[in-house]
């Protein structure tokens, strides 16, 4: 997507290596203010690493290169104090397993108050009142009393609400939700997603939803990026991606989903498995699993424009659409 | 909570009874005190008289019951050797032992815990490797070897410090270092691995992701969690304050409980040995009990009984 002014977040050629092994291989991505963008792909495709790298949350052994700009300000080489201000303040992140993402020996209210103190300078009774308001905002019943319980005394869904309240404490411009419902029951999943959608609209913040669940992303996001083996392979507005997927990998993912309407059909799995990051094929990383692969796929594919806001990294992309 | 406490106390009492029983049986079966104290050449009548005087001619279970009856009345027996109450003999040695073991404990805590934290925070750095090498040396070198090496270097070669005895505070330096070094090593290793475990937890990443500066993440989120396993080891060290210096007291001829124990065992001075073992078992059990209660303070997940109402 093209922005006339600077987007809220602009990632350029973001790459990560762990002990020389590539985990992320040049990601370009823009997130506009107030926009909801989905990031889908299998485990290990680099969805989470992208955002952990952008916020400097990877261990020091990770080699990160490229550029991460927040409203024009470069974050990758930024001093620690800048990062501490950005994290939780302008960009907040919530994680997959809320039970282990909260400090088990601290009362949940105190963990929210810590964020309020850091980013909004609130302390004492004011911080507690605001924490209670946030708990009510994210739908925790009996908010005042719940401030004083420990994470193990709450359910997974309640803990994720605490995480969300904590993330909202700094009034962020962007919330990165990393598989926020994967560890939760199906009914709780829907509630948490509804909550995120409502909060995004009410607070006007941008949302990046990381998920391996295409259905969840389609429901929540206006734009979707599909990642494979550390790269974005296709990016499109949600409805376009689901109606006219251009990359064979995206098509494979959609073919593996059961259809909600129409006759029952056999689900098709993508043959083979994701290549090991230390043993990537030359050129297109998906080629070994792709039934359309040709010699041309041995060279790294460029992005091709498939329509407004729709790009795909596949040399066969255009013929695929024609076919 | 009260139920839990009562249960723990009952278990603690049972542990002490088992230790005392075991010591009682083993000591009675491993040699006749009359022969050792009176010497085997003594006339048979004298030996018989000694046995009768101390009740040693009774069946062992009668002796055992008498012993427990006496303990229940606060009577821990009388030394076969000089006829003084065992408790008196033991308690006058306790200050000397604590004079070594308490400073040694401070040394273990003051060196071991910071070194372990530092090593974990600078994992795989040169300082981490140095700390770990020192720690391994600390708990693999037996204390009598280390003690003798220190004596050889600082007393014999350099002549800086006394090699034994209890003349001045300078006599304490070598035994305290000998005692503290190994424990500091154990604690450094334990603290390091507890910290590494905690630093890899998702909630540490959460704290960083909400903008908590790293020093505060370590202090406010990592340390309180890493303290939980470390407390176990510290509790064990506190529990061995009385009995932990047997070898070192012998090496440095320090007149503490440990030396008394060695002498009493070789003399078959049963009342004294049993009194010391009872004391050792009680301190160990008491510190274990304190550790268990501390867990509850440090880790809300273990306060199951106390917080059941919150659900």
CB of B55 within 8 Å of any CB in chain A?
no
Q: Tens digit of pLDDT for each residue in B285-294?
A: 999 888 988 8
Is B263 within a domain? no
Q: What is the pLDDT of residue A196?
A: 94
- A104 and B202 in contact by Cβ < 8 A? no
Tracing tokens 């003349």 back to the chain, one arrives at B167
Gap between the Cα atoms of A154 and A99, Å rounded: 9
Which CATH architecture best describes the domain A9-102+172-259+267-322?
3-Layer(aba) Sandwich (3.40)
Query: Residue B295: which pLDDT band, with cuts at 50, 70 and 90?
Result: confident
- A57 and B205 in contact by Cβ < 8 A? yes
Asked casually if ipTM beats, i.e. exceeds, 0.95, the reply is: no
pTM of the model: 0.85
**What does the mean pLDDT of chain B come to?**
87
Phi and psi dihedrals of B241, rounded to 5? -60, -35
DSSP string for A45-81? SSHHHHHHHHTT-S-TTEEEEEEEEETTEE-TT--HH
**Strands lying side by side in the sheet with A206-211:** A91-94, A174-178, A206-211, A36-40, A223-228, A231-237, A310-312, A304-307
Q: Tens digit of pLDDT for each residue in A167-219?
A: 999 999 999 999 999 888 888 899 999 999 999 999 999 999 999 888 889 88
The residue ranking higher by pLDDT, A259 or B153, is B153
The residue ranking higher by pLDDT, B310 or A23, is A23
Mean pLDDT, residues A87-93 taken together: 96
Query: Residue A83: which pLDDT band, with cuts at 50, 70 and 90?
Result: very high
CB of A87 within 8 Å of any CB in chain B?
yes
Is B74 within a domain? no
Q: How far is A25 from chain B (nearest CA, A)?
A: 23
Domain of B197: which CATH number? 1.10.3720.10
DSSP A149: S
C-beta of residue B209 within 8 angstroms of C-beta of residue A102: no
Q: What is the pLDDT of residue A320?
A: 61
Q: How far is B12 from chain A (nearest CA, A)?
A: 28
Closest CA to B242 of B143, B96, B107, B64: B96
Is B286 within a domain? no
Residues of A in contact with B225 (CB under 8 A): 103-105
Residues 6+ apart with CB under 8 A from A36: A200, A206, A207, A208, A209, A220, A221, A222, A223
C-beta of residue A158 within 8 angstroms of C-beta of residue A150: no
Q: Tens digit of pLDDT for each residue in B121-137?
A: 999 999 999 999 999 99
- A170 and B210 in contact by Cβ < 8 A? yes
Q: Is the pLDDT of residue B308 over 50?
A: no
Q: How is chain A split into domains, by residue range?
A: 9-102+172-259+267-322
**Residue in A54, A59, A101 to test binding to B, most B beta-carbons within 10 Å:** A101
Query: Residue B46: which pLDDT band, with cuts at 50, 70 and 90?
Result: confident
Q: How many domains does chain B have?
A: 1
Q: Indicate left, alpha or beta for B83 from its phi (over 0: left) and psi (-120 to 50: alpha).
A: left
Is B64 within a domain? no
The pair of three-digit structure tokens given for residue A221, joined into one six-digit string: 């996001």
Q: Tens digit of pLDDT for each residue in A217-226?
A: 988 999 999 9
**Residue in B206, B299, B306, B308 to test binding to A, most A beta-carbons within 10 Å:** B206
Q: Domain containing B139: what range?
A: 94-255
Q: What is the pLDDT of residue A2?
A: 53
Could you tell me which chain B residue has the CA closest to the CA of A112? Answer: B210
């Amino acid at each position: 997507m093209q922005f006339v002014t600077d987007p809220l977040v602009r990632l350029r050629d973001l790459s990560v290596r762990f002990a020389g092994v590539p985990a992320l291989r040049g990601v370009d991505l823009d997130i506009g203010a107030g926009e909801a963008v989905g990031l889908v792909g299998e485990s290990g495709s680099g969805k989470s690493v992208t955002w952990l790298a952008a916020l400097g949350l990877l261990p020091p052994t990770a080699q990160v290169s490229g550029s991460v700009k927040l409203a024009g300000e470069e974050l990758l080489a930024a001093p620690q104090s800048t990062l501490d201000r950005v994290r939780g303040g302008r960009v907040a992140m919530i994680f997959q397993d809320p039970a282990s993402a909260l400090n088990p020996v601290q009362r949940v209210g105190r963990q929210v108050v810590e964020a309020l103190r850091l980013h909004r300078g609130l302390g004492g009774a004011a911080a507690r009142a605001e924490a209670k308001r946030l708990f009510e905002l994210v739908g925790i019943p009996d908010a005042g009393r719940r401030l004083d319980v420990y994470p193990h005394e709450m359910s997974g869904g309640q803990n994720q609400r605490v995480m969300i309240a904590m993330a909202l404490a700094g009034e962020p411009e962007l919330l990165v939700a990393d598989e926020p419902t994967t560890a939760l029951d199906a009914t709780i999943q829907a509630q948490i997603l509804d909550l995120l959608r409502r909060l995004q609209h009410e607070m006007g913040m941008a949302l990046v939803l990381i998920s391996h669940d295409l259905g969840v992303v389609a429901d929540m996001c206006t734009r979707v990026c599909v990642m494979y083996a550390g790269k974005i392979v296709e990016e499109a507005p949600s409805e376009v991606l689901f109606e006219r997927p251009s990359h064979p990998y995206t098509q494979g993912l959609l073919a593996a989903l059961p259809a909600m309407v129409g006759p029952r059909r056999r689900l098709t799995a993508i043959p083979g498995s994701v290549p090991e990051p230390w043993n990537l094929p030359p050129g297109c990383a998906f080629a070994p699993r792709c039934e359309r692969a040709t010699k041309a796929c041995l060279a790294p594919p460029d992005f091709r424009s498939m329509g407004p806001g729709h790009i795909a990294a596949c040399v066969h992309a255009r013929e695929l659409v024609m076919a | 909570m009260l139920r839990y406490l009562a249960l723990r106390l009952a278990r603690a009492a049972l542990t002490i009874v088992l230790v005392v029983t075991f010591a009682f049986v083993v000591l009675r079966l491993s040699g006749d005190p009359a022969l050792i104290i009176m010497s085997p050449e003594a006339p048979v009548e004298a030996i018989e008289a000694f046995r009768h005087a101390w009740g040693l001619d009774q069946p062992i279970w009668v002796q055992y019951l008498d012993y427990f009856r006496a303990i229940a009345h606060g009577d821990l027996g009388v030394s076969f050797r000089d006829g003084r109450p065992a408790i008196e003999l033991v308690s006058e040695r306790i200050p000397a032992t604590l004079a070594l073991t308490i400073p040694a404990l401070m040394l273990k805590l003051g060196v071991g815990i910071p070194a372990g934290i530092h090593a974990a925070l600078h994992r795989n750095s040169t300082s981490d490797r140095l700390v770990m090498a020192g720690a391994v040396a600390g708990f693999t070198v037996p204390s009598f070897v280390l003690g003798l090496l220190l004596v050889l270097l600082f007393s014999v070669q350099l002549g800086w410090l006394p090699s034994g005895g209890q003349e001045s505070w300078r006599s304490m330096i070598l035994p305290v270092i000998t005692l503290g070094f190994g424990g500091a090593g154990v604690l450094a290793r334990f603290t390091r691995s507890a910290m590494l475990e905690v630093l890899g937890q998702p909630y540490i990443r959460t704290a960083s992701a909400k903008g908590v500066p790293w020093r505060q993440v370590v202090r406010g989120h990592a340390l309180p969690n890493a303290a939980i396993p470390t407390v176990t080891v510290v509790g064990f060290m506190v529990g061995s304050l009385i009995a932990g210096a047997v070898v070192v007291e012998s090496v440095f001829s320090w007149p503490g409980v440990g030396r008394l124990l060695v002498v009493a065992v070789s003399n078959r001075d049963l009342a004294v040995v049993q009194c010391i073992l009872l004391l050792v078992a009680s301190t160990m059990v008491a510190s274990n009990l304190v550790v268990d209660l501390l867990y509850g303070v440090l880790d809300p997940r273990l306060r199951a009984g106390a917080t059941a109402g919150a659900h």
